[in-house]
Amino acid sequence: MLIIKTTGLLSDFIEKQEEIGLSIGFVPTMGALHAGHISLITQSKSANDLTVCSVFVNPTQFNNKDDFNKYPITIEADIDKLEAAGCDVLFLPSVDEIYPPGIEFPLYELGYLETILEGKYRPGHYQGVCKVVDRLLSLVKPTILYLGQKDYQQCMVIKKMMELRNIHAAVHISETIREKDGLAMSSRNTRLSKAEREQAVKIYETLTFMKAELKKGSLTETEQKATDFLTANGFKVDYASYANANTLELISNWNGTTPIVILIAAYLDEVRLIDNFVLN
Ligand code: PAF
């Protein structure tokens, strides 16, 4: 696997691949790779001539300094995993490579998407995500961008950013990979204590409960029950909500036909976990 650390070398490399006409699959990550990331690499490999993965803990998307400082960094293990998965290129830039002095980004007009759920509870987060993904896409110029469904709202935000910026890569969203007990795989899971790790599965259980309870009419009582259940189990809940799976508009009264996504964000001590179920 080729490891490239500068934007200059990456651009030279990508230019050569473009000349030959190779298709490029791109998996952007913040490292601390797990089976969810590796499944994106595998999917990219099966559909593209070349797979590029980036590992960059993006400071502009952390609205909480402590969360940034404590973000797990496991680069040696990440390199081993990427090599074992057959990834072709790892882009491993420094902060100065991604954000050199003088670089400017637009204000991304994300509208409603930035005012609800993650947008509401993590102000500025999505502007930071848009900046880094915009920059990475301009360097990697992928044929297909691979994202995980666990970050459901992020997928919608990135698609919106690509529309705003006229970026034409295809976007492949891959289903969430779970631990045996149902907990969604996440780099942040490594920060959970043994007891918290056992508790964490309650998020999956709550999503399962909310799915079972979904019926036409008011959904607010079920949302409240879900929040109360998580709170009673030691979580600090940001939201446990039903939304329109296409627009992410929050739904408190369901007409029985609008496609639904159920989304939860909750803290165990200082570790913030998110998960969702998309209902067919
Ligand atoms: O989902 C992530 O890991 C990050 O938000 C991303 C897309 C790599 C941007 O930093």
pTM of the full structure? 0.98
14 Cβ inside 6 Å of ligand 1: no
Indicate whether residue 230 lines ligand 1 (CB < 6 A).
no
Q: Which residue has the tokens 């670089």?
A: 103
Give the separation between CA 168 and CA 269, rounded to whole angstroms. 40
Nearest-atom number in ligand 1 for the CA of 58 is: 10
Query: Is residue 187 lining ligand 1, measured as CB closer than 6 Å?
Result: no
Residues composing the chain: 280
Instruction: Give the whole-angstrom CA distance, residue 12 versus residue 6.
Output: 10
Q: Is the pLDDT of residue 167 over 80?
A: yes
Query: What tokens appear for 201 in the block?
Result: 């599965």
Q: What is the pLDDT of residues 216-242, one digit of tens each?
A: 999 999 999 999 999 999 999 999 999
Question: By alpha-carbon position, which residue is closest to atom 3 of ligand 1?
Answer: 29
146/38 Cα distance (integer angstroms): 11
Task: Quote the tokens at residue 193.
Answer: 């204590």
Q: What is the CATH number of domain 192-275?
A: 3.30.1300.10
Every domain of the chain and the residues it spans = 2-174, 192-275
Kindly state if the Cβ of 58 falls inside 6 Å of ligand 1: yes
CATH number (2.40.30.20, 1.20.1250.20, 3.40.50.620, 3.40.50.300) of 2-174 reads 3.40.50.620
Reported as a single tens digit per residue, the pLDDT across 181-216 is: 999 999 999 999 999 999 999 999 999 999 999 999
Predicted confidence at residue 70, as pLDDT, reads 96
- Please choose from 154, 172, 187, 274 the residue to mutate so as to test ligand 1's pocket, defined by most ligand atoms within 8 A of CB: 154
The band of 280, judged by pLDDT with boundaries at 50, 70 and 90, is: confident
Question: For 45-84, what is each residue's pLDDT tens digit?
Answer: 999 999 999 999 999 999 999 999 999 999 999 999 999 9
